[in-house]
Amino acid sequence: MPTEPPYLRIAAALREEISQLPPGAKVPSTRQLASAHGVANATAAKALDVLRREGVIRAEPRSGHVVAGQHAEAESKRPVLSRDRLVRAAIAIADTEGVAALSMRGLAARLGVPAMAPYRYLSGKDELIFLMADTVYGETGYPAREPEGWRAQLELVARTLWSVHRRHPWLAHLVPLTRPWPLPNLAAHNERALAALSVFGLNSADLCDLNVLFYNHIQGTAIHLERERHAMGTTGITEDQWMEKQARGYAALTGSGRYPVLARMVRDLAEEGYDLDLDHLFEIGLQALLDGLAVRYPVGGAVSGRQDQGS
């Protein structure tokens, strides 16, 4: 299980400490928290931000943070803990910090409940992540009127799923194509894709192959959304800065004379400018995939599948 982020541990300790203080009492400053817990000021600031968003503390001009005046009343009115509330809070953590930052203990701390409270509603982290995935797949629906034609129908499904992965970059890392999860809300997307692909008249094995290929394009591209965010968080440098650091290595490759096409491409891109845009790559990849399906499986024509790999 991933280690709980330090700022959540600090927030939990501070929450317990100030629960004994009257409204308006001064809260330790960012610098004081950083010194007391041996962390960076940015980490201490995140801990204070957690409590501020919960309404436990408030910012007071020229005084820093103080205990919120309505703290006791807010606690008494705190929404009852539920499975849905746990799942929604976990999704928010994963969206901002990645799924690796998620733990049952950290989730409890974020909600201001005892560490074991989530286990009254969930068997553990595996069930939590299963429900998180199913929930986000169910966020976006479809118009009541179906587009005309298999291509437009597949474009709609692909772009809908891409938007889900765009909002939740961690999602693409959860479900291997080879070990799919029985998620009802993902099944709803699959049903639409399969219905559109059924126009080709394929047997079930070939139909499954195409559906997996179709989803693989979405998931395979979306994987890099989270990878870039992780790389940025780990290295602290942007994509452009990363490429600048690799300039010497690429100069050695392209200057060797062994890779003339690569050398020409790198030179042209350096002169003209280039940004690797995942949204653009998703779209051109989708169109190339659909173009290929139109040629390989002409509607009303000869059908080629697993039994005709040479076509």
Model pLDDT, residue 230 = 61
Closest CA to 16 of 138, 108, 134, 149: 108
Question: Is residue 35 pLDDT above 80, yes or no?
Answer: yes
Q: What amino acid is encoded at 66 in this protein? A: V
Model pLDDT, residue 73 = 45
CA dist 13 and 17 (Å) reads 6
**Claim: this prediction has a pTM higher than 0.85:** no
Q: How many other C-beta atoms lie within 10 A of the C-beta of residue 216?
A: 12
Bin 98: left if φ > 0, else alpha if -120 < ψ < 50, else beta. Answer: left
Model pLDDT, residue 311 = 42
Q: Which two tokens stand for residue 292?
A: 């290929």
Over residues 255-278, the pLDDT tens digits come to: 888 889 988 888 888 888 878 889
Closest CA to 97 of 236, 223, 4: 4
Q: Which two tokens stand for residue 148?
A: 């005309």
Model pLDDT, residue 232 = 62
Q: Any bridge partners for residue 57, and if so which? A: 67
Residue 172: pLDDT band with limits 50, 70, 90: very high
Over residues 61-89, the pLDDT tens digits come to: 666 888 886 544 444 445 578 999 999 99
Q: Are 14 and 47 in contact (CB under 8 A)?
A: yes
Closest CA to 91 of 47, 140, 137, 133: 133
Q: Any bridge partners for residue 67, and if so which? A: 57
> Three-state DSSP class for 126?
helix
Over residues 197-252, the pLDDT tens digits come to: 999 999 999 999 999 999 999 999 999 888 776 666 666 677 777 777 777 887 88
DSSP states along 51-91: HHHHTSEEEETTTEEEE-TTHHHHHHTPPPP-HHHHHHHHH
Position with higher pLDDT, 309 vs 18? 18
Model pLDDT, residue 161 = 97
> Chain-centre distance of CA 209, in angstroms?
26
Question: Is residue 17 pLDDT above 60, yes or no?
Answer: yes
Over residues 109-161, the pLDDT tens digits come to: 888 888 888 999 999 999 999 999 999 999 988 998 989 999 999 999 999 99
In sequence order, what E strands does 238-284 have? none
CA dist 5 and 39 (Å) reads 11
Model pLDDT, residue 74 = 45
CA dist 133 and 224 (Å) reads 18
> Three-state DSSP class for 26?
strand
Residue 299: pLDDT band with limits 50, 70, 90: confident
Model pLDDT, residue 2 = 42
- Greatest alpha-carbon pair distance for the chain in Å reads 79
Q: Are 211 and 177 in contact (CB under 8 A)?
A: no
